[in-house]
Chains A and B, each alone.
Chain A
Amino acid sequence: MARNIWQDNSLNPPELTLAQRILQINWLLLILVSLIALIGLAMLYSAANGSWSPWAVRQAIRFAMALALCIAVAIVDIRFWLRWAYLSYAISMTLLIGVEVMGEIGMGAQRWIDLGLIRLQPSELMKISLVLALARYFHGRTYDEIGQIRFLLMPFLAITAPVILVLRQPDLGTALMLVMGGATIFFLAGVRLWKFGIVGVLSLASVPIAWQFLRDYQKKRVLTFLDPESDPLGAGYHILQSKIALGSGGTWGKGFLQGSQSHLNFLPEKQTDFIFTMLAEELGMIGGLALIGLYMLVIAYGFIITLRCRNRFGRLNACGMTTSLFLYVFINIAMVMGLLPVVGVPLPLISYGGTVMLTVMIGLGFVINAYIHRDLEIPRRTDET
């Protein structure tokens, strides 16, 4: 059926074969990503006090699988993704509601569905699906249509519905990322700036109301963020210990496997959310800046691909996925350095955990996918042909 669409676009360059698409894969980007993942493995090795088990080995296997998935996503025809974007959103939404219902039945703050081998976290899937769905939606709208509020109602709902569900889980970090990711697509699609202004003002106004809906521990995290030293052994303990670890690392760090804060367990969750702290304690500011630099390169690649891509779906996809990666990295690092409240966002490719790795690598798959199909022109309404 992809062939159908293809034949209607005589201006397009000839169809790419699978081999050509594989050749078009942006290998340098994948090498950068693998480099980050390798650093992650080294850190997990250190977190386990110099042992490949229990984290590093499993993480390596996960990365290999995620890399394969990334390439698979990249080489599938972009119009296939365009066609299935809404369906993916629908599936993610269903799963999200499913988690909600199961959580209601009695497991409290449950964020995942246990499929035996993997724990599927629908809110992570939603980060991909939301970008895909919004990209497809705005792909089909003209600049004029985007200027009209009635055309913005549906995508706005598409963002708010999962955000409300995720907030109920409650997962402040993911909700924040969904909102920001969605807003990025809105911004790139050409939604007028004054509308952002209004929504921004409205959100600020609703902060006191939203405060009522926050759970006690979430309120505590926000308050702790504002003044971590107020309760050094209580809620502020984690962030204070994290800052001590970072600060004591100094310029050159304490050396690989030598992080006293991390290895003496002063640092909480050193293999997951606070892994950047451990890295910066052991490898110092130099190590921390190097990792941030690598992320910047990957993200810069994403933006270059965005600029290079001629079809809007690919462009929005690439930029949305890149921004999503940026948000992970920024929120996590800002959080462990005490610039943001502790909201439980892991550091992609470094933190131990499968779902985030999967999300980020699939996202990268879409970035590369946009690169492979950068010169392809796709009509606004695929379903009308």
Chain B
Amino acid sequence: MNRSADHDNHRMVTRRTLLLGGGQLMLFGALASRLYYLQVIEADKYQLLSEDNQFNLELLPPIRGRILDRHGMPLADNQDNFRVEIVSEQTGNVMTTLNKLQSIIDIPEHEIRRVLRDVKRKRSFVPVTVIENLGREEISRVAANTPYLPGIKIEVGRSRRYSFGTEAVHVTGYVAAVSESELTGDPILELPDFRIGKSGIEKTYDLPMRGNAGQRQVEVNALGRIIRKMPGNQGEPGADITLTIDMRLQKFAHNRLERGEGRWLSRDNRQAQEALEKASPSIRNQLQNRPKILINQKGQAVAPESGGVVVMDIHTGAVLSLVSAPGFDPNKFSNGLSANDWEGLLSNPRTPLNNKSIAGQYSPGSTFKMIVCLAAMEAGLATANTRISCTGHVDVGDTRFHCWHRIGHGELDMIGAIEQSCDVYLYEIAKKVGIDRINAMAHRFGLGEISGIDLSGERRGLIPSREWKLATLGTRWQVGETMNTGIGQGFVLATPLQLATMTARLANGGLAINPHIIAAHGVINDIPNMGLNAANLAVIRKSMRAVTMGARGTARKAALKIPDWEMAGKTGTVQVRRISLAERKAGITKNADRRWRDRDHALFVAFAPYDAPRYAIAVVVEHGGSGSSVAAPIARDVIAELHRLNPLGNRDQAGRAGLPTGRKG
């Protein structure tokens, strides 16, 4: 054996061992520096990522503010909405639990299938909704049985409730699920249960009523299972919105408008059943969701009247009721409208989705005559004593303009002309005043103008002028058109809200009040005076009193029978379609003989009480027939109800002194 070779060998091995050890030491050094790099240099980055992993931000939807009427009665509030959820991992067997649940409450078979599908798709700890919107009784039955229903949980959500449904829907509007185009990036809008205002006050005051969402961090594991909920801020509930509406009056006016000249009969009534059988499918459809059947004076089943009623405090412009019929049920929208219901709303010929009080534009007809007469008096072209003889018609060139009274009224002064709604008188006056002055006066009374009420979808109406005609129709203004405008026909269009505003300004002595529906509208100290001659206004008011109280007044049958509380008004019957020669020959001149959509609109504007005016009202009954026989009685009944309810209290009627309007009742 070679000792020195072994010695060399030993040194070589020692060298290589040290080399190997040194190499391993270096590699450990690499590990240590990597650890330093990850845990010290990049620590912040990974710290953030770790928290991202660990915590999900959970938004707590705020409680939506309520909508209250002037007395604090909620028109829209939030209701506990009980739902039953199933957590599959807590059930022994999903199907067994569902079967047991089915024996306690009624669950449709297709819902069961949906639940089973969802349970399979979702992770086993994610709750799946079995059934929503349960009544208290059903919930208590489920709650009593929970020991036998493993994995079943009762959860409470909130849903919007409109206690008055259709009667206030055109004021409150409705909420519904957020649509894609409404997303603003605000995460609250992406919550699955979040609802957003789509119309009415719900839309206008959506932001203040929404409130601020609370936030909470939720610790989750890698599968998304919630491990722990951290305390967070609860957010702020939305603000309540108080309206100037008196819901009792609103409800009364709505029902009174719908009833029209008819009466409601119980569905058990034989006469009602027979009438319903004879009615057209369209009428049957419109009566379908009603508890009772509406029967007219001829014993036929008819659809409830459609149109608008606006009641206003003449001193402040506070709107006490804003009715548009037909309405629809906003509750259905917040819970998700069925395609069938939606189809029904769209196909209804009476357009329930249209807010007729602010967006329905109607020829004002004879209700416009006060504006024309006032324009004439203000221009010094006529006085209360201006007398004109009515022979039943006026000829201008080749055209003959008829009075509604074929044989003529004979000689009339201004008060008599308005009392009997003589058309010839107004033709002559309008011709004298000219379209420019009529147009200017109409605008001063808010016609053809947006009022700026806090509701979306308001329409402007139309007060024609020379410029307007040239611009839109391309032809020059004709004198005949001035005469037609003089009786509120032709191009003139106004909404019920504008007619109420006009009446209020006539009644309050020419103060330019503006309608508003929000109680917190602010103190109105300085309502501009329109600068009209008080004597002229008095003539107009006196003529309106004659309409209801005069011996020949067109609305004398609708006079208010309350001592010291007279109603002064003006009827309007607006031709929707010219009566054709053939119809005239066939004797079809009466409204009742014509198809609904060919009948005249019935209008009535009024204020009361005559001596110390407080309220103005405008009633439009679409295709209702005559203003005097259909619209005027509605206005009278609503004003009688106003007298009974006395919504403004017994305060001194000196509203012009600037009483605050934001008070509650």
Contact A248 B28 (CB under 8 A): no
Contact of A188 among B8, B20, B31 (CB under 8 A): B20
Is A37 at the interface (CB under 8 A from chain B)? Answer: no
Q: Could you tell me the distance between the alpha carbons of A306 and B222 in the complex, rounded to whole angstroms?
A: 47
Q: Could you tell me the distance between the alpha carbons of A118 and B220 in the complex, rounded to whole angstroms?
A: 37
Is A135 at the interface (CB under 8 A from chain B)? Answer: no
Given A251-B40, A264-B222, A339 contacting B20 (CB threshold 8 A): no
Closest 9 CB pairs of A and B: A247-B46, A248-B50, A264-B221, A285-B39, A303-B21, A265-B222, A250-B43, A266-B222, A143-B9
**Closest CB in chain B relative to A280 CB, distance in Å:** 7
Is A382 at the interface (CB under 8 A from chain B)? Answer: no
Q: Could you tell me the distance between the alpha carbons of A144 and B220 in the complex, rounded to whole angstroms?
A: 66
Q: Could you tell me the distance between the alpha carbons of A307 and B54 in the complex, rounded to whole angstroms?
A: 50
Contact of B39 among A188, A247, A264, A323 (CB under 8 A): A247
Number of interface residues of B (CB under 8 A): 41
- Which residues of A263-289 are within 8 A (CB) of B? 264-266, 280, 284-285, 288-289
Task: Bin chain A's interface residue count.
Answer: 35 or more
Contact B16 A188 (CB under 8 A): yes
Contact A339 B21 (CB under 8 A): no
- Chain A residues in 8 Å Cβ range of B9: 143, 190
Given A266-B53, A266-B222, A284 contacting B39 (CB threshold 8 A): yes
Closest to A259 in B: B50
* Chain B contact residues: helix, strand, loop or mixed: helix
Contact A246 B35 (CB under 8 A): yes
Q: Chain B 357-380, CB within 8 Å of chain A: the 1/0 string?
A: 000000000000000000000000
Q: Chain B 208-252, CB within 8 Å of chain A: the 1/0 string?
A: 000000000001111100010000000000000000000000000
14 new A-B contacts at CB < 8 Å, known A315-B17, A337-B35? A190-B12, A246-B46, A247-B47, A249-B39, A250-B39, A251-B40, A264-B222, A284-B39, A285-B39, A296-B25, A303-B17, A303-B21, A326-B27, A339-B34
Q: Could you tell me the distance between the alpha carbons of A299 and B647 in the complex, rounded to whole angstroms?
A: 95
- Which residues of A48-100 are within 8 A (CB) of B? none
Q: Chain A 187-220, CB within 8 Å of chain B: the 1/0 string?
A: 1101000000000000000000000000000000
Q: Chain A 217-233, CB within 8 Å of chain B: the 1/0 string?
A: 00000000000000000
Q: Which residues of A contact B (CB under 8 A)?
A: 142-144, 184, 187-188, 190, 241, 243-251, 260-261, 264-266, 280, 284-285, 288-289, 292, 295-296, 299-300, 303, 306-307, 312, 315, 319, 323, 326, 330, 333-334, 337, 339
- Chain A residues in 8 Å Cβ range of B36: 285
Q: Could you tell me the distance between the alpha carbons of A265 and B223 in the complex, rounded to whole angstroms?
A: 8
**Closest CB in chain B relative to A122 CB, distance in Å:** 27
Contact A337 B24 (CB under 8 A): no
- Chain B residues in 8 Å Cβ range of A319: 17, 20
- Chain A residues in 8 Å Cβ range of B14: 307
- Chain B residues in 8 Å Cβ range of A323: 20, 24
**Closest CB in chain A relative to B20 CB, distance in Å:** 7
Contact B31 A333 (CB under 8 A): yes
Given A250-B47, A299-B24, A190 contacting B221 (CB threshold 8 A): no
Q: Could you tell me the distance between the alpha carbons of A333 and B39 in the complex, rounded to whole angstroms?
A: 14
Contact B17 A306 (CB under 8 A): yes
Q: Chain B 25-68, CB within 8 Å of chain A: the 1/0 string?
A: 10110111011101110110111011101100000000000000
**Closest CB in chain B relative to A341 CB, distance in Å:** 15
Contact A248 B43 (CB under 8 A): yes
- Chain A residues in 8 Å Cβ range of B221: 264-266
